[in-house]
Amino acid sequence: MYNLSQLGWTEFFQNQFQVFREQNFIPGRIAVENKQRYILYTSMGKFPGEITGKLLYSSEASELPKTGDWVIAVLFEDEEKAIIHSVLKRRSKLSRKAADRKTEEQVIAANVDFVFIVQSMDNNFNIRRLERYVVSAFESNIQPVIILNKIDLTSESLLRKKEAVERFSDIPVLLTDALTGTGIEGIKNILCGGKTGVFAGSSGVGKSTIINYLMGKEILQTSEVSSSVNKGKHTTTRRELLIIPNGGIVIDTPGMREFQLWNVDDGINKVFDEIEIISRECKFSNCTHTKEAGCAVLKALVKGIIDEAKLQSYYKLQKEIRYLEEKQDEKGFLKRKEREKKIGKAIKQLYKTDKYKGL
């Protein structure tokens, strides 16, 4: 059995649960999602779960239960399973565009307080990639924490930390060596009082090893570092929520080769705030900051006020978001056309019935 507050239950979710209280429902938190199969943590214990057909067919893919979600379920203790009827409104979510050609949102984890962005001190360290994660975290009001792991691999860990701190001055940057436990105490101090953190980053950066150290035992499978490319092998295959002894909750995620953005205008504004502030002085309100006369951003670039690499990253992310918006508009248009087509067919069938013959 679990204490709900130990699982991250707060007044935000309690207020939503009031309408279900008089019925045969209990709240549970999604610990593992595997397509339409789930594992729930509840006050009655741990149960496998399934969703109702109504929830499945009335929801978009991103609205179905994800790891970290709080759901409303009915327990069948004799059968040792739970049936999920509803998903409570999320307090936050870390999302990206699905890693394929589909224009769909992929929710990585729900109801998290912190996203631990893990990069390792080999060829994995990349400021531009960090920007993508930070943008997505800020979009959902999740506090990002940068973890630079495997500091034993380089003598330049302090230099890289300095680089990260200079780029993200208001974000904690921790140096860790998960094999020896160096720096892990800093993560424990952040994850207290029922807070939830999701670990995100590329394959082989040591996310699972860090979590194993936090748990005090090997819960998640890890692999040795490859001597040929100096990288760990990818072992995590699913998102999983774990409760840390003495407080705190963590969600492990599979390594992500790419992290495409999803609807992050506010996040971009926060990460590139100096560019956004300077752009208010541009002559034209729709200035693209590429070639227009009277562009305050280009003037700032020439004067060295704005870093060129940062501006190029800003251009790239803005272009990616505009393209995504166009694809979403196109998808919405096609869905409307398909719906209108179905309605038209239904009306034709209706008028073919005996009731309307001869009219």
**CATH architecture under which domain 272-352 falls:** Orthogonal Bundle (1.10)
Confidence band for 344, pLDDT divided at 50, 70 and 90? low
pLDDT in tens, 287-332: 889 888 899 999 999 999 999 999 999 989 988 888 887 877 665 5
Long-range contacts of 101-106 (CB under 8 A, 24+ apart): 103/324, 103/327, 103/328, 103/330, 103/331, 104/61, 104/62, 105/61, 105/62, 105/262, 105/263, 106/62, 106/262
pLDDT in tens, 52-92: 999 999 998 899 999 999 999 999 877 789 999 999 999 99
Q: Which residues pair with 27 in a beta bridge?
A: 72
What pLDDT, on a 0 to 100 scale, did the predictor assign at position 228?
44
- Rg of the Cα atoms in the chain: 24
- Which residue in this structure is represented by tokens 């789930």? 38
| 93-252 topology per CATH | Rossmann fold (3.40.50)
What pLDDT, on a 0 to 100 scale, did the predictor assign at position 273?
92
Strand 249-252 and strand 114-120: pairing? unpaired
Take residue 268 and report the two structure tokens written for it: 């971009």
Asked if 108 and 96 count as a contact pair (C-beta separation under 8 A), the reply is yes
What secondary structure letter does DSSP report for 263? S
Higher-pLDDT residue of 60 and 30 is 30
pTM (two decimals): 0.84
Domain boundaries, the chain: 4-87, 93-252, 272-352
pLDDT in tens, 120-129: 998 889 999 9
What CATH number should be reported for the domain whose range is 4-87? 2.40.50.140
Q: Which residues pair with 249 in a beta bridge?
A: 196, 243
Closest CA to 182 of 202, 206, 156, 160: 206
pLDDT at 173 over 50: yes
Take residue 218 and report the two structure tokens written for it: 């090997």
**Mean pLDDT over residues 19-38, rounded?**
90
